[in-house]
Amino acid sequence: MRVRDFLEARRSGEIDIQDFLLKVLEKAKRIQERYQSFITINEDTSGKFGERLLGLPVSVKDCICTKGLQTTAGSKILEGYIPPFDATCIAKIKAEGGFILGKTAQDEFGFGTFCTNCAFGIPKNPLDPERTCGGSSGGAGCITAAADFPHIAIAESTGGSITAPAAFTGTIGLTPTYGRVSRFGLIDYANSMDKIGVIAKEVYDAALMLSIIAGYDPMDSTSQKVPEEDFTKYLEKDVKGMKIGVPKEYFGEGVDERIEKLVWQKIKQLESFGASYEEISLPMTEYALPAYYLIAVSEASTNLAKFCGMRYGSTEELKGNFDEFFSRVRSKNFGDEAKRRIILGTYARMAGYRDAYYLKALKVRTKVIEEFKLAFKKFDVLAAPSMPVLPLKFSEIEKLRPIEIYMMDILTIAPNMAGIPMISVPAGFVSGLPAGLHLMADHFQEGKLIAVAGAIE
């Protein structure tokens, strides 16, 4: 059943919500046994399910706080942490009658491209269980692709963590403008780049959920005062006359030619609908990846300092001095990738290195933003492949070095670093494996993305 069919059936009184949710929980548990999409499943189906969502099941990435439900950010160091409050986006979903189905698996604190760094089980791709769902919102992509019931996933992206799982699972991944959705209640990876968004089966579902979770929040200092709106109305818009930029750097070395072919077919399809396209150059793309990782690990090492065994999550017997205690807790409960990024970030922020690395990376980021701004003076949207490769087998990922894994983010880093909105839509299949088309727009132009994505769908 599609989301819009469920909402219509609920309004007409055709669905008994308690009976429906109990059946959904049974199905979710079977999916969990097979694919490991969740860290925690919510067994409590009590509540008022009125307003706009009417009891629609909504899964939540495990780095977003949910009152009364374990929230771990995929890390052992937060195992057992149960927030006493809801993140702003979760409060909005509950106010509109959404049912929180559970907390989805993710790379620890968002550190990963393939969701293989989760401390509580690695989600498997429902299209081929030997392959990755993408990361770091892998569980969100997994449950969305696997669910045969109406459902929408709340996910989060820092450098491509919504786009990657959407591309690898053949779903819709909508990453909004930085500041469009409140980050209050989000367990940070990199404060200046984290964005809460949506993974869904249809563009309508993503547009509906963005309409609910977007809006200004005084609890978040980065939240922007822009008007709230119904994003589903953009699905009625025509793409005729729209101008599409196609950056040549996004079709370069390392991008699978079969994915390129599918993406070009979709661009030509938009042309047949009355849009026009032009190839362009975004030369700063080359420098975005190293700049992103310097900024991201620097912010991450700062954010993770608070996870030390004193206030919440895992702890140890308090003996020895504080440094010894903190080291024991953190060594035991952080995974290898988290430790790697903490060390890299701490190094980049040290006296003598901050100017040489971190501040230069911030200047590169400014150049990246300026380059996008210039492009959007001429074009409504930019189009590119979502990911450079098809979903890899876990056996292939094991052979990759960390730097090779980081390079997989080459197509998503620049737009995420610039804070612009983007959407990944299915571009087609190669040997039964999905590929994604990535659409990017200027800040707060999500409506254009939804219009173009809807036309393709």
What's the pLDDT tens digit per position in 360-382? 999 999 999 999 999 999 999 99
Question: Cα separation of 278 and 52, whole Å?
Answer: 40
Please tell me which residue in 136, 137, 314, 386 is annotated as part of the active site: 136
**DSSP secondary structure of 45-73:** --S---TTTTT-EEEEETTB-BTTB---T
The confidence band for 110, taking pLDDT boundaries of 50, 70 and 90, is very high
117: left (phi over 0), alpha (psi -120 to 50) or beta: alpha
Q: Give the model's pLDDT for residue 282.
A: 97
Task: Give the C-alpha distances (Å, rounded to integers) separating 178 from 175, 195, 215, 375, 417.
Answer: 9, 6, 12, 19, 9
Handedness of CA 390, 392, 78, 62 (dihedral sign): positive
Tell me the pLDDT tens digit for each residue of 168-210: 999 999 999 999 999 999 999 999 999 999 999 999 999 999 9
Question: Where residue 311 falls among pLDDT bands split at 50, 70, 90?
Answer: confident
What is the residue-averaged pLDDT of the chain? Answer: 97
> For residue 252, what pLDDT is reported?
86
Active site residue 424: no
User: CB-based burial of residue 192 (10 Å sphere; 0-12 exposed, 13-18 middle, 19+ buried)?
Assistant: middle
Q: Which contacts qualify for 247-251: CB closer than 8 Å, 24 or more apart?
A: 247/279, 247/280, 247/281, 247/282, 247/285, 247/375, 247/382, 247/384, 248/279, 248/280, 248/281, 249/281, 249/282, 249/283, 249/285, 249/286, 250/282, 250/285, 250/384, 250/385, 250/411, 250/438, 251/384, 251/385
Percentage with pLDDT > 70 across the chain: 100
The CATH number of the structural domain formed by 3-235 is 3.90.1300.10
- The secondary structure of 332-349, three-state, reads HHCCHHHHHHHHHHHHHC
d(CA 201, CA 432): 18
For residue 136, is the peptide bond before it cis, meaning its omega torsion is within 30 degrees of 0?
yes
Residue-by-residue DSSP string for 379-391: -SEEEEES-SSPP
pLDDT for res 426: 98
**pTM over 0.85, yes/no:** yes
Structure tokens at 81: 């942490």
Cβ–Cβ under 8 Å, residues 265 and 341: no
Do the bridges between strand 381-385 and strand 243-247 make them parallel or antiparallel, or are there none, so unpaired?
A: parallel
pLDDT value at position 92?
98
pLDDT bin (cut points 50, 70, 90) of residue 293 is very high
Give the residue with greater pLDDT, 310 vs 443.
Answer: 443
More confident residue, 253 or 200: 200
301 is catalytic: no
Whether 357 contacts 348, CB under 8 Å: yes
pLDDT of residue 249: 97
Q: Each residue of 112-148: pLDDT tens digit?
A: 999 999 999 999 999 999 999 999 999 999 999 999 9
The number of beta carbons lying within 10 Å of the beta carbon of residue 143 is: 29
Tell me the pLDDT tens digit for each residue of 379-396: 999 999 999 999 999 999
Tokens 């890299």 correspond to what residue? 344
Please answer whether residues 333 and 76 qualify as being in contact, where contact means their C-beta atoms are separated by less than 8 angstroms: yes
Q: Let me know if 182 is a catalytic residue.
A: no
- Strands 99-104 and 38-41 come out as antiparallel
Residues ≥6 apart with Cβ < 8 Å to 264? none
Residue-level pLDDT at 441: 98
CA dist., res. 127 & res. 189, Å (int): 29
Select which of 37, 59, 61, 211 is catalytic: 61
Q: Smallest Cα–Cα separation from 113: which of 387, 423, 419?
A: 387
Per-residue model confidence (pLDDT) at position 313: 85
Q: 59, 161, 298, 301: which is the annotated catalytic residue?
A: 161
